Structure 1
Amino acid sequence: MKKFKKIVLAGGSGYLGQVLAKHYGDLANEVIILARRKQKGTGNIMYISWDGKTVGDWCEHLSNADLLINLCGKNVNCRYTQKNQTAIIESRVTPTLLLNRVIEKIENPPRVWINVTSATIYRHAEDQPQNEIDGEIGYGFSIDVCKQWEESFFRISTPKTRKVALRMGIVFGRADGAFPRLLNLVKIGLGGRQGDGEQYVSWIHEQDAALSTQWILENESISGIVNCTAPNAIKNTELMKTIRTTYGISLGLPCPTWMLTFGAWLIGTETELILKSRWVYPKVLEESGFKFQYPTIGVATRDLLSLRK
């Protein structure tokens, strides 16, 4: 007998959505992925079409769900033009408000709703870690996005549905996300520090990201804001050194700030994604008893490289 009846992943066709679908595929009777493009499911994983903007037949699939995880949002790996800024905000706020309206009206809404937001909401921090209780909110476009995102999530009260805004760090996994890109830099000899290398990276192994959502589902005392990062953030210099050492390459050329600025312009992204110091601590998860399988970057890197060599 499966542990859960139904898990719904809104916007779950991307990398993290697939990690979560695989995780819950073994635990739930059915996993429903709400996606803009209908795809063929496998086993107990089913794709349902929605546009993230309008009410439709997809609404019925929220009824009696154990957990809804909302992953919607345009990739921020782009230039912050006015057009892209508008798209980034709307792609997060619009589906969140829509889900709020639907959940408010249905008779048996999901027991728990996790809205995956971003740990980048905190200020640039090199002096101390930022937690959910007394962490300081930063400023700038990325932070404004997070603030509007979370405001739209908590705007409507849903007494039958417990809500958690999961401030996710950089997810490290084998198949996609940041880690394979950093590994590629190491492979071509560019695996040195980026900028001055003093900026902190708050990361989390993909399996801990999935397990943390299950932990939240099963622990009714957790609600509100939750940081989802490994407990041990690491400076960029040490991160790159750990990946190099684990992979077996001793040297890596550094990438100074001016080069990053030019490269970001060339490939159509922003240097903030690399140079901002994100030192975030998961106080709520730690104090609630959650046990990280991969608490340090050394353990995580060895695992992520185990199937590559």
Structure 2
Amino acid sequence: MKKIVLAGGTGFIGEYFKEKFKELGYEVKIISRQMQHISWEDKDGIKEALEDAELLINLAGKSVNCRYNETNKNEIMNSRIRTTTLLGEAIQACENPPEIWMNSSTATIYRHAEDRPMTEDTGEIGTGFSVDVATNWEQTFFSFDLSNTRQIALRIAIVLGKGGGVMTPYQNLVKFGLGGFQGTGNQMFSWIHIEDLFKIVLFLKEKEELTGVFNCSSPQPVSNRELMKELRKTMNVPVGLPSPKWILEIGSLLIKTETELVLKSRWVLPERLEREGYTFTFETLEKALQDILN
């Protein structure tokens, strides 16, 4: 039976991927902190799972949806470096290592951009804690020189899908009349439908010559103002109060998160994917939201 390994595969993206790969006839092995799966402490179990696997996808890492105090910052950084290092060492120990290793990264690696979009070739790496996490994550990943395993880093934009991720808090804002723009509303929102993310993985898996970094984001990002307008339209809520920055600061304290998640302008284009011939199923936000909410 064909086999794939999902590391950190119990979250929103991991659960979706697991079901999709099972539908395609794959045996799916999951490495996780959860008891029923292969433990991160079980080095032999990880190596055994990776032997003869077609594909390893690493999604592991503490959620960034928290306050950036020292404890959380250390855990966000270390959870990504530690798991990526463990996987690289396990692959090196395999007799028949996975054909491909895809590691999560993030579109947040680029600077706050309201002036122009960021591509793999022309994008400028930003500064700050989130960017440090992304750059260290990618450096750790590419520090492994693996002759028999192809390596691809997925710079993933904000993932939209049914029943999880960011859709729940956004829907709640709109539902309770707070679905206006946030901050200035001019910050760009780069997003991807979860189905396209899965199809991108399959696409890159088949393209045996491809390695390196890929932006995983819709070719049609929108401003925060357009995002909230489209959400209100799809949910049939005519008005929504805007949230200036000072209100967001108070709100983020109360729900223990950071305003950067809403206020950073992520303007990212999937130039390499489109150049290689990938066609998006959900190219526009309108189409994506219709699918997710209706």
TM-score normalized by structure 2?
A: 0.98
Counterpart of 1:50? 39
Structure 1 position 268 matched with structure 2 position 256: yes
Equivalent in 85, 98, 112 of residue 97 of structure 1: 85
CA distance in structure 2 between the partners assigned to 1:99 and 1:179 by the alignment: 31
The question of whether the paired residues in 1 share the 8 Å contact of 2:47 and 2:93 is answered with no
Matched residue of 1:32: which SS? strand
Aligned runs of 1:69-148 on 2, under 5 Å?
A: 69-148=57-136
The question of whether the paired residues in 2 share the 8 Å contact of 1:7 and 1:28 is answered with no
Equivalent in 276, 283, 286 of residue 288 of structure 1: 276
The question of whether the paired residues in 1 share the 8 Å contact of 2:196 and 2:280 is answered with yes
Counterpart of 2:20? 23
Counterpart of 1:64? 52
Counterpart of 1:44? none
Structure 1 position 226 matched with structure 2 position 223: no
Q: How many pairs align?
A: 294
Equivalent in 202, 214, 218 of residue 214 of structure 1: 202
Matched residue of 2:105: which SS? strand
Matched residue of 2:62: which SS? coil
CA distance in structure 2 between the partners assigned to 1:299 and 1:151 by the alignment: 35
Q: Which amino acid aligns with 2:266?
A: R
CA positional deviation for 1:56:
2.8
CA distance in structure 2 between the partners assigned to 1:83 and 1:129 by the alignment: 33
* Unaligned ranges ≥5, structure 2: none
Counterpart of 1:181? 169
CA distance in structure 1 between the partners assigned to 2:209 and 2:225 by the alignment: 38
CA positional deviation for 1:28:
3.1
The question of whether the paired residues in 2 share the 8 Å contact of 1:194 and 1:236 is answered with yes
CA distance in structure 2 between the partners assigned to 1:98 and 1:84 by the alignment: 21
CA distance in structure 2 between the partners assigned to 1:108 and 1:207 by the alignment: 30
Q: How large is the Cα RMSD of the aligned pairs? A: 1.1
The question of whether the paired residues in 2 share the 8 Å contact of 1:117 and 1:167 is answered with yes
CA positional deviation for 1:6:
0.8
Counterpart of 2:156? 168
Q: Which amino acid aligns with 1:145?
A: V
* Unaligned ranges ≥5, structure 1: 40-47
CA distance in structure 2 between the partners assigned to 1:29 and 1:172 by the alignment: 24
Structure 1 position 38 matched with structure 2 position 27: no
Aligned sequence identity (%)? 47
The question of whether the paired residues in 1 share the 8 Å contact of 2:46 and 2:90 is answered with no
- Note the alpha carbon deviations across 1:268-292, whole angstroms, 9 max, x for none: 1111111000000011111111111
Counterpart of 2:247? 259
Matched residue of 1:294: which SS? coil
CA distance in structure 2 between the partners assigned to 1:261 and 1:181 by the alignment: 16
